[in-house]
Amino acid sequence: DILMTQSPSSLSASVGDRVTITCRASQNISIYFNWYQQRPGKAPNLLIYAVSHLHGGVPSRFRGSGSGADFTLAINSLEPEDFATYYCQQTYSLPPTFGGGTKVDI
């Protein structure tokens, strides 16, 4: 199975801050890579698919980048609703695997 390693596992930030979360795959996964956001007590929501494509309705302050095995999620100017846990995922090969999550809190 492809191992997805996120860092950091948690971070504290303030409204208006810019934060970055990284995710490293244990092998090259091309662009078969997604980001999800999960607010407390809620189901995950798709944020970004195929590395850098924003899912419908996702604000432009979210940006995904990377290729191969190293990927980054950047959130420009944090809003209160952005405090959540973020998961990366690879769908390059079965089974699809998720990173351990990055909790962004105040």
Tell me if 78 sits within 8 A of 21, measured CB to CB.
Answer: no
Copy the structure tokens of residue 52: 């850098």
Counting Cα atoms < 13 Å in the Cβ hemisphere of 48 gives 27
Which C-beta is closer to another protein: that of 33 or that of 62?
33
Q: Any contact of residue 30 with another protein (CB under 8 A)?
A: yes
Q: How many helices (H) and strands (E) does the chain have?
A: 0, 11
Q: Which stretch binds another protein (CB under 8 A): 17-25, 48-56, 60-68, 71-79?
A: 48-56
Q: How far is the CB of 87 from another protein (least distance, A)?
A: 6
| Binding stretches for another protein (CB under 8 A) | 30-34, 36, 42-46, 49-51, 53, 55, 87, 89, 91-92, 94-101
